[in-house]
Amino acid sequence: MQNSKVNTMIDFLKDELLRRQNADGLWTGFLSSSAISTSVAVFALFMEDREKHQFYIQKGIQWLHHNMLPDGSWGDSPESPSNMTATLLSYATLSATGNIPEQTKNYIVNHFKGLTDQHIIDGVLKYYGKDLTFSAPILVMCALAGVISSWKNIPQLPFEVSVLPQKLFRFFRLPVVSYAIPALIAVGILRYKKGRRNIIRQSFINPSLSVLEKLQPSNGGFLEAAPLTGFVVMCMCGAKYQSHASTQKGVQFLLDSIRSDGSWPIDSNLSAWVTALSVRALNTDIEHPEVLADQIKRNAFTYKHHFTGAQEGGWGWTNLPGSVPDADDTAGALVALHILTKGKYDQTITKGIEWLLNLQNRDGGMPTFCKGWGKLPFDKSSPDITAHTLLAFQLWKDDLDISTKKKCITSMNRMLKWMQKEQATDGSWTPLWFGDQNAKDERNPVYGTAITAEYLSGIDHPIAIIMSAKGVDYLLNTQNQDGGWGGAKDVSSKVTLTARALSALTCFHDKVDINTLNKALDYLHLKFTNQELLKPEPIGLYFSRLWYSEEMYNITFSLSALKNYKHIIKHKEPEYNEVNI
């Protein structure tokens, strides 16, 4: 019977989730190790002092060899298929250290149709397009490693712009996204030193390095990310700034964040994010919710952030020093606090709401970090983040003072109109930070639509109702024969995406055939029976197309979906209650 399947899986997932709760009541999660992070970190240590860091360099090299795919390539994570970026960066590191496998060299030649400077440069720039956030550091690393012999055709990043007030950045249409200013500085300075000298640009080096120091968190890790920190370290070393404070702090972060197997994850952790997901999944099944609520409140930023210039009141993805406030995590914290406190209002809520209000773009949507920064993908408004913000506003607006409540309502109307314009003709929305590696274009409209429709389900507004209905139709039309969902139509099913789709459809159970929900449940139960329910699935998309898996996604997504299913099935199948009696 379905209820027996549901109860068994819910009990299993609750135990798994509660087992991962730490002493502070929060969740840390576990990000997959990354070939990109590992190769960049190893090469950064190699550049800083190859003799001093020989032990860690060798451990990293061993990890890369152990996780190389049979054709000599690497994926972003051990569960990922071959990836150009991961393979090229690993090739550069192993080439510099004298450990290059012949099959990797052959893979690079086949992928780029040659191994000349121009083959590699053209291939990387074509892959990333106008966004130089990652392509410029990749090419610079290749040059430092000797894979590229000439610096001539490597793009020059305008590091001198970093000395200007942050509020002016959006007017310069920078070739990097908002969170990549440290790379803009370090890569830009190194590239300048390898090219023609200019007395005006030369005068900006020291002021730019001062900005770099101000942007660096106390633990040395820019955004808690090994790739970004590693790129800064190697470029500083390449520019002869080994002893600079930012270089040494970055090196220390890399040493502190290496794992016992010699690898690095893409980021330290997503503690705030997975804690919010865990609260939604457990809901009333949390002991001492008031203690957890206080912990979440303490993690809100209480100062203007030096990195993005964001005012106080927002939350980042982790409580570690390298985190910065963002819209998705701020909305997630506000939703979690509403669950934990049963809607008990305080000034922390007002500050969080005001932070989101101030972030809203002119087009009505919500960006991730910075308002109106530019037109590069990761700085544009995003439908899933916008819908998450809508949910947070919906939950708290009636507790706000009259003035803030009016601002919320106005903001919500603008968000809904923007989302209506963004919804595709098939009813889908494409998310910003999540994808599907098996989809032809790596997009994941199933995730974006499921998330957005679920967040909209509690909003009684004509536009929200119309959009949700279209979103539900899209999900119904993309369910696979096995009952699951992939990132798009006819893409292989995955636990994470099936759980998200099932969770969304239960919110519209009066419009969905029970057989559709049962097929999804059967898919999840088969994975549970085969001990594959918690199998890592790369779904996260970090920085410029870097993939990762997070063990908490399978648990929290599935638990939320199953609890929603259990709640509505009582009204769908009369025998459910009879079996429980």
Instruction: Give the DSSP per-residue string, 126-153.
Output: HHHTT-HHHHHHHHHHHHHHTSS---TT
Residue 218 corresponds to which tokens in the numbers above?
């106390």
Please tell me the distance from the alpha carbon of residue 322 to that of residue 215, in angstroms, as a whole number.
Answer: 9
pLDDT of 575 reads 46
> How does residue 170 score in pLDDT terms, banded at 50, 70 and 90?
low
Q: Which residues pair with 542 in a beta bridge?
A: 546
Q: What percent of the chain lies above the pLDDT cut of 90?
A: 82
- At residue 196 the predicted structure's pLDDT band, cuts being 50, 70 and 90, is confident
Estimate to the nearest angstrom the gap between the alpha carbon of 576 and the chain centroid. Answer: 39
pLDDT classification of 330: cutoffs 50, 70, 90:
very high
Residue of 225, 220, 73, 91 whose CA lies nearest to 542: 225
pLDDT (0 to 100) of residue 577: 43
Residues 123-157: pLDDT tens digits? 999 988 877 888 999 999 999 999 999 999 999 99
What's the average model confidence in pLDDT over 82-94?
A: 95
Three-state SS string across 204-242, please? CHHHHHHHHHHHCCCCCCHHHCHHHHHHHHHHHHHCCCC
Show Cβ contacts of residue 572 under 8 Å, excluding neighbours closer than 6 positions: 509, 514, 517
Characterize 414-444 residue by residue with b for buried, 16 or more Cβ atoms within 10 angstroms of its Cβ, and e for exposed.
bbbebbeebbeeebbbbbbbbbbbbbeeebb
- 459's CB contacts (< 8 A; 6+ apart) are 390, 391, 394, 412, 416
Average of per-residue pLDDT across 27-56: 97
Both structure tokens of 156: 């020059």
pLDDT confidence bin for 576, thresholds 50/70/90: very low
- Tokens for 332? 């997630």
User: Of 261, 216, 247, which Cα lies nearest the Cα of 38?
Assistant: 261
CB atoms within 10 A of CB 65: 13
Task: Say if CB 548 and CB 76 are below 8 A apart.
Answer: yes
Give 359-428 as a DSSP string.
H--TTS---SSSTT--SSGGGS--HHHHHHHHHHHHHHGGGS-HHHHHHHHHHHHHHHHHHHHHS-TTS-
Q: Max alpha carbon distance in the chain (Å)?
A: 83
- The rounded distance, in Å, linking the Cα atoms of 559 and 6 is 10
Confidence of residue 310 (pLDDT cuts 50, 70, 90): confident
- For 452, half-sphere exposure in the C-beta direction (CA atoms, 13 angstrom radius) is 39
Which of helix, strand or coil describes residue 286? coil
- Angle at alpha carbon of residue 104, lines to 68 and 255, rounded to 5°: 55
Residues 6+ apart with CB under 8 A from 196: none
Distance CA 111, CA 125 (A): 14
pTM of the predicted structure, to 2 decimals:
0.94
Residues 6+ apart with CB under 8 A from 465: none
Q: Please, are residues 235 and 140 in contact by the beta-carbon 8 Å criterion?
A: yes
**Is residue 561 within 8 Å of residue 503, measured between CB atoms?**
yes
Q: Can you list the domains of the chain with their CATH numbers?
A: 1-30+430-581 (1.50.10.20), 35-253 (1.50.10.20), 269-422 (1.50.10.20)
Give CA angle at 101 (100, 106), nearest 5°.
Answer: 105
CB 384 within 8 A of CB 365: no
Model pLDDT, residue 171: 59
Partners of 494 in the beta sheet?
Answer: 485
Share of the chain above pLDDT 70, in %: 94
Q: Which helix (H) or strand (E) holds 540?
A: strand 540-542
Closest CA to 226 of 443, 33, 441: 33
pLDDT band (50, 70, 90) for residue 340: very high
pLDDT of residue 129: 81
Query: What does the pLDDT read at residue 565?
Result: 96
Which sign does the torsion angle of CA 266, 267, 268, 269 carry? Answer: negative
pLDDT of 159 above 80? yes
In angstroms, the CA 105 to CA 111 distance is 10
Structural contact between residues 142 and 148, judged by C-beta atoms closer than 8 angstroms: yes
Secondary-structure breakdown of the chain: helix, strand, coil percentages, each rounded to the nearest 5:
60, 5, 35
pLDDT exceeds cutoff 90 at 474: yes
